[in-house]
Chain A
Amino acid sequence: MPVTLEKIPGQEERVILNMGPQHPSTHGVLRLVLELEGETVVRSLYDIGYLHTGFEKSFEAKTYTQCITLTDRMDYLAPLSNNLGFCLATEKLLELEIPPTAQWIRVLLTELTRIQSHLVWLGSHAIDLGAMSVFLYCFREREILETIFENVAGQRMMTSYFRVGGLAVEPPLGWLKPVEKFVREFPDHLREYEDLLTKNPIWLERTVGVGKVSAEDAVAIGLSGPSLRGSGVKWDIRKNQPYSSYEKFEFDVPTRSEGDVYARYLVRLEEMRQSLRIVRQAIDGMPEGRVRANAPHIVMPDREEMKTSIEGLIYHFKLVTEGFHPPIGEVYQAIESPRGELGFYMVSDGSPKPFRCHVRAPSFANLQSLGKMIEGRLIADVVACIGSIDIILGEVDR
């Protein structure tokens, strides 16, 4: 039996309303049970797990390289961020140094992923609140980004492009051309969204003062990412604990102190601008060189090398049939995914498969804050609040 709320004796006139799992505004398969007093939410209950696919169990049955394909499927709007988190955790375990070119490309692509993910968020958030056209514009730009990903990785969504030790393959010649074009044109598009929303009275009516979370509450409940920064906590893992040479890039961490839906909206919009700044720097300063670390016992040899040298052949054979053996130990690596802190806690027992790999999913932690936001507010605000914390159910349920 699905879980539900029991009526409180003496309060029988209150309505218990089921929302989801098939509901367009729940962004996937989230099920809410709301107790309503008129139109006001008094109590709420969350039922998650409809998309539980046992990723963490599957990790234990696959080699490290095979696991990368699984990570795509958790947060399917930011597959490259997930790839990066997993690869960085494994590299930390192996103490592997990555060539600068690979790091730069990783940064560039994950920032484009952030923009792409925020575009989907903005589009769907706006359509939830009744602004249809923004959705169309956002998806127009997202298409350009997806084409860039396809050009580089061969896949639009399930990219699996990063590997332990670098990248899967070198990006094709001239791949930066469309990126440059995007960087040139995107600020105008951003202005376009802002024209439609930022000062729109209906938008303000629906978002300002809705779903307030104070900074203390946000930290206590474990919010992270733009949702936390919308509450005035200036914390970005890219700045505070840089990884993948983020310390070499210049960017600001936007924060707002209001802690409402509107603040989270503004933070994400500004983040897109900052991501664009990083992308621009990455294009300008892109170093030349290999995209894979020189560690033949971990990184697959080039095709050419495999065919012409005996070492290449042996390493290729060993890596394909067996995989690499990280040292025994445990690591935790967090990255700033578009949704917040994405952490990989990995335990290795020295075998080619992770002994345990736990994913600290930002959406999972962020979703917990929803109760604080919606209780005592109107039912229409529930939709605004769900949209504003930007959850991905694939990541919540894992």
Chain B
Amino acid sequence: MMEEPKEPPKAAEGGETPKPAAEGSKAAAPPGKPAAASPKPPAPAGGAAVPPAKPAAPPAKPPAPAAKAPVKPEPWSSPLLDELQKRFPGAIREAVIFRKMPSLTVSKESLLALGQFLKSDEGGAYTLLTDETAVDYPKREKRFDVIYHVYSFQRNDRLRLKVLVGEGEKVPSVTGIWPTSNWLEREVFDMFGVVYEGHPDLKRILLPDEWTGHPLRKDYDILRQDDAWVEANLNIKSGQ
């Protein structure tokens, strides 16, 4: 029993040669993939000639999705955007539209004023904050995108606001504008460690208060957990 687990490390230690070989034979995917990909271009011609018409139908379609070039978000223009730019000069860093959903990247300083305006009747009455969350881009200088999705009953319209935040930077809390963000901001704080300024009760919401680490950050491994907490509270030793 003791020898068995010893053997695999030894093989790995022995040299790099057996490892890639084993990997290749195990999956068979890497060598197969290029081989499978290369006959793809000639396939439509050959495929259409030999078998009946049935398989010819699918290959006819792929060029259509491939031809869909406008993958990139396009710049957004609307009366609302003009109004916002007039009232808050320099506040909007970027305004794009992608899949019919406009998205505004807003400077952190003007978030509250802008939000207040959007909520007012003049600004389109975006009274419902449906969602607030964050995205972690660890390679960026300002690693977090804090995302707000607002909805206007009056205009039946959704709008996305985005604030770029660096590690340790504070974001103004929008609880004063949209009270529903109370729990949503706590969740973002819990999962990403984004700190909100002016939040009435900023503490963890889903994880225990004493937990260390923020699981939805990209550098938090999916298998990681707060071993010390788990051992102290659940009596489960790490790796058990």
- Listed in ascending order, the chain A residues whose CB lies under 8 Å from chain B are 1, 3, 48-49, 52, 54, 56-58, 60-61, 92-96, 219-222, 224, 233, 235, 240-241, 294-298, 301, 305, 308-312, 314-315, 317-318, 321-322, 327-332, 334, 341, 343, 345, 347, 355-356, 358, 360, 364-365, 368, 397-398
Contacts and interface: CB of A to CB of B under 8 A. Distances in A.
14 contacts: A1-B210, A56-B191, A57-B216, A60-B222, A92-B99, A93-B99, A221-B180, A311-B43, A314-B36, A314-B43, A315-B58, A341-B130, A345-B131, A356-B136
A368 B180 contact: yes
B73 A329 contact: yes
Given A295-B65, A311-B58, A355-B135, A345 B149 contact: yes
Interface in B147-182: 147, 149, 153, 156, 158, 160, 178-180, 182
Q: Which of B131, B158, B210, B222 has the most CB of A within 10 A?
A: B131
B103 A48 contact: no
B40 interface: yes
A56 to B, nearest CB: 6
Contact of A332 (B58, B101, B210): B101
B131 A95 contact: no
B55 A345 contact: no
Return the 3 tightest CB-CB contacts between A and B, nearest first. Answer: A222-B180, A309-B55, A49-B206
Nearest to B180: A222
Contacts of B98: 329-331
Interface in B37-85: 37, 39-40, 43-44, 47, 51, 54-55, 57-59, 61-62, 65, 68, 71, 73
A375 B210 CA distance: 28
A199 to B, nearest CB: 33
Interface residues on chain B, size class: 35 or more
A345 B147 contact: yes
Contact of B55 (A94, A222, A305, A343): A305
A321 B47 contact: no
A49 B136 CA distance: 22
Contact of A360 (B55, B68, B131): B131
Contacts of B37: 314
B99 A296 contact: no
A343 B206 contact: no
Nearest to B135: A356
B231 to A, nearest CB: 16
A311 B59 contact: yes
B73 A345 contact: no
A220 B206 contact: no
A317 B128 contact: no
